[in-house]
Structure 1
Amino acid sequence: MERDQQTNITEFFLLGFSDLSPPLQATIFSFFLFAYILTLVGNGLIILSVSFEPVLQTPMYFFLRNLSFHELCLTTVTVPKVLEDLMSNERSISLLACSIQMCIFFAIGVSECIFLGVMAFDRYMAICQPLRYTSVMNTKMCYQLTVGSWVIGSLESIGQTSFIFSLPYCRSNRIAHFFCDVPPVLSLACSNTFINKLTVFIACMFTAGVPFLLILSSYINIMSSILLIHSSEGRHKALSTCSSHLLSVILFYGTAMFTYLRLGTHGSDENDRMISLLYCIIIPAINPLIYSLRNKDMKAAVKKLIFKIPNKMN
């Protein structure tokens, strides 16, 4: 019977926000829709501005454009399905679709962790090694670092997802989440998941811990170099190029590590759901504001693009 029950599970049900009243679900739908539109518009403007503005053809903005692409993908993997579930109340997702969603989401998340480390290294080279910056951070190096982050993220994600979905699932087919994330899916497996949790933990420590140490080391050296700058204007300019990235690191790493490094503990579904809202919805929506509002060149390029679009339409 247990074996039959294992093979009968061909789809999951994403409980998401089904425990809330219809008016609250309608409010959440509006929030998700608004945040998704804001994410698409904000990150889309950054991608287009960096692509077409000659002033922004530097490694820093090249990496910023790729970070915006990460945020777009991260949100698009989850939010449309959430909106569909809130509208239809069906909430079902096939086993294959669930595994694909988890695989893509995990790949983007791992890649973004590495990519934030790459951006910190870029700032280190620009501030601490300015004479070597153009020779080290050339176009070839920028593309190699970007492709490398995606390759590592994809390979790790495929391996982890395959390992997770090779488990027998017989306890339930109801996922206490709004998307197929690793912790809630693993909790439904009817076999011992200690090895799976351990491999996810080790993978997260490697793909998040190593870039985090790189970020920490980079900013220790950056702050040491900034303190040696005599003019207040020079210190302010150096700090302004790092503050946006540092805030993104704190937001992304803080929420992601809280989720994936506590796989062995039992947190409440509501808390897990709220933390996921931060890194799935809120952070991708506010990152364009963080980078554009604190950067004069970025702000000018976005304004130029916004005014240029209506003129071309006319």
Structure 2
Amino acid sequence: MAGNRCPNCGTTTPPMFNPETGEYVCPVCGYIYGPVAEPLKPRSQEEYLRKVHSERMPKNPDTTPRAISIKHLLGSRELSRESSKNREYSSYLSQVQREFNIPGYVMTEVERLFGEIRKAGGLKGRSHKLIIATLLFYVLKRYPNVTLTQNQLERIAGADVRKVYRTYRVLVKEGYIQPAKTRAVRKPSEHLPSILSRLRIESQRSGKRENPLSDMPMHVLAKTADSLAKILQGVKPSGVAGATVYLFIKMLGFKLSQDIVAKSANVSTLTIRRVLKQITEEAELTVGI
């Protein structure tokens, strides 16, 4: 048989035996010679197609024999569903990395954490997009050179950014991730130099020669702001500092709008008003504003 040529392609390569069908096949073109008893008897094209290509090969990586899939139908469906999910998650991670230009080392860590959460069952009942956005928010806390805006987080999560923050707290509470280490909270007195500097520049721009706080000792202002922060629990230090500055300006009899003070403290006017209201109520102060 080694000296014969294949009637289909003319190769002299020895045929290969297929133990499943009991036939010899040309290794070059796939031509079927026939059974062992008749190795050189050619088969018709119709019989060849019916024998070899009777079933189309699936276009997915599942190589489980059809007989096994039918016998274990539930397991086969679970395997198919799992493979589909793997492709979906991997595709979305790649899409996020390309669209938002996220470094590979960040996405590698996100993918690792995502796999651990999924393996532990933390993905059940939760959107994979929301989990990926939350993990990005968590990982980027350690990489300040890479940033994502709130709008970008919402686009990745497909939900409001508040859900991302809520999911982050849930993942920390359930032990899937460790809380990110943040620097100690600054005291209100640490914000005062920058606030006063901005107010001084604003006064120069407006043509005012007098500085509202030039006669007020800095240590008195700082001590007052830090003392008020101990009374007003849960208030941002910058808000306490801005409200304290505005309070002293009013006590000294100068006129300065809350908008300018709020802008100098990098807070909203509403924050200044809210903190002032708490100061007058909880510190038992009465100031005309």
TM-score, L = length of structure 1: 0.21
More contact order relative to length (CA 8 Å, sep ≥ 6): 1
Length-normalised TM-score, structure 2: 0.22
Which is richer in helix? 1
